[in-house]
Structure 1
């Protein structure tokens, strides 16, 4: 019987921890949003993940991250183009060296 009470005590401590951290409120709001959707999403787990991510970020943080993604995509595209140019130049020089060696 003592084991049962110890288990209940740990469970209650964990429940209070989750409540204090706001986890229970966040999960509840996400699950309520899922329940209230007219059309159920095909991937409920993805819906929950997206909503939980949105709960953790405020709009300023989300906007800053979106801007960073845009900038990084532009930089990536620029680097891909630079890489193509450098490969073409290298190929041209290697071709000239091969032709000069013959």
Structure 2
């Protein structure tokens, strides 16, 4: 009997979590939207996925973000290469400086 209460308590806790985080509202809104569709989509799961991800970036915005990401990756690699070159120069100057001290 106590295991039943523990499971019920966990279920209620999880329900409150879903409610508090807005998951229940989002799911309810999407399911109501599906219910109200005059022509039901052939794949209800794809409909749910597309509706739940509707807040994400759209096609043009997504493409702009991809271009920006590529450009930032290119800049980052360029900076890494510059860092390597500067570290080599520093190592050369340090070795020359050490040779001067030894003499």
TM-score of the superposed pair, with normalisation by structure 2: 0.58
Q: Which runs of 5+ in 1 are unaligned?
A: 74-102
Q: Aligned equivalents of 1:62 and 1:33: distance in 2?
A: 21
Match of 2:63 in 1: 69
Q: Which runs of 4+ in 1 moved over 4 A?
A: 70-73
Corresponding residue number in structure 2 for 1:34: 34
**What is the rounded CA distance, in whole Å, between the counterparts of 1:40 and 1:25 in structure 2?**
21
Pair 1:23-2:23 in alignment? yes
Larger Rg: 2
The 5-angstrom pairing of residues 44-55 of structure 1 reads 44-54=44-54
Runs of 5+ in structure 2 lacking a partner? 68-103
Q: Take 1:4 and 1:14, find their aligned partners in 2: how far apart are those partners? A: 15
Q: Distance in 2 between matches of 1:47 and 1:37?
A: 11
TM-score, scaled relative to structure 1? 0.59
Structure 1 residue 68 displacement after superposition: 3.7
SS at match of 2:53: helix
| TM-align CA RMSD | 2.3
